[in-house]
């Protein structure tokens, strides 16, 4: 996986917490391809902002089992992060689309030049 910036880690972390709140920090780290330390740091920052809260499963006999839950503020932060992420990806897509068009035009120009050059060479050989 390509290196993610802080905004993308935050977006993907909020998304994972919403979809799978029971994941451990280790599992979150594996899913995102980052270190457990980075996940720990990000989770604490999200909890300090009030976006995520820690909850244990009351009926679970293992009281060390926790889940991470998005708060209403966390849902709003996720929506904003989703919008920012989408805008960035659309801009990246547009940049790639234009580059592909430019490269395709270059390839066509090379092909046309090669075909014209080959036709000229054949014509010159026939004249001899």
Question: What secondary structure does DSSP assign to 95-127, as a single string?
Answer: HHHHHHHHHHHHHHHHHHHHHHHHHHHHHHHHH
Q: Is the pLDDT of residue 63 over 60?
A: no
Residue 103, domain member (yes or no) = no
Strands (E), 1-128: 52-56, 66-70
CATH number at residue 47: 1.10.10.10
CA distances from residue 125 to 3, 6, 27, 30, 113 in whole angstroms, order as listed = 55, 63, 69, 64, 18
Look over the chain and give the mean of its residue pLDDT values, rounded to a whole number.
87
Residue 52, domain member (yes or no) = yes
Residue 109, domain member (yes or no) = no
User: CA dihedral defined by 25, 27, 31, 33, rounded to 10 degrees?
Assistant: 60
DSSP 8-state assignment for residue 69: E
**Percentage above 70 pLDDT, the chain:** 82
Q: Is the pLDDT of residue 123 over 80?
A: no
pLDDT tens column, 38-57: 999 999 999 999 999 988 75
For 13, the token pair is 């972390």
Whether the CA torsion 35, 41, 43, 45 is positive or negative: it is negative
Residue 112, domain member (yes or no) = no
Residue 30, domain member (yes or no) = yes
Contact yes or no for 45/38 (Cβ under 8 A): no
Residue 118, domain member (yes or no) = no
Q: What pLDDT shows up at residue 50?
A: 95
Which domain does 51 fall in, by range?
A: 6-91
pLDDT tens column, 93-122: 999 999 999 999 999 999 988 877 665 665
Question: What is the Cα–Cα distance from 3 to 34, expressed in whole angstroms?
Answer: 9
Q: What is the pTM of this model?
A: 0.69
Q: What pLDDT shows up at residue 66?
A: 79
Q: Is the pLDDT of residue 21 over 50?
A: yes
61 backbone dihedrals φ, ψ, rounded to 5°: -65, -25
């Amino acid at each position: 996986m390509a290196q993610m910036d802080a905004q993308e880690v935050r977006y993907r972390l909020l998304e994972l917490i919403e979809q799978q709140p029971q994941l451990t920090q280790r599992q979150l780290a594996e899913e995102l391809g980052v270190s457990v330390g980075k996940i720990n740091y990000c989770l604490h920052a999200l909890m300090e902002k009030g976006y995520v809260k820690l909850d244990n499963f009351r009926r679970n006999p293992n009281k060390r089992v926790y889940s991470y839950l998005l708060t209403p503020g966390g849902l709003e932060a996720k929506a904003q992060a989703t919008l920012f992420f989408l805008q960035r990806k659309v801009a990246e897509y547009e940049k790639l689309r234009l580059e592909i068009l430019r490269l395709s035009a270059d390839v066509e120009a090379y092909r046309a030049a090669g075909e014209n050059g080959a036709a000229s060479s054949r014509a010159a050989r026939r004249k001899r």
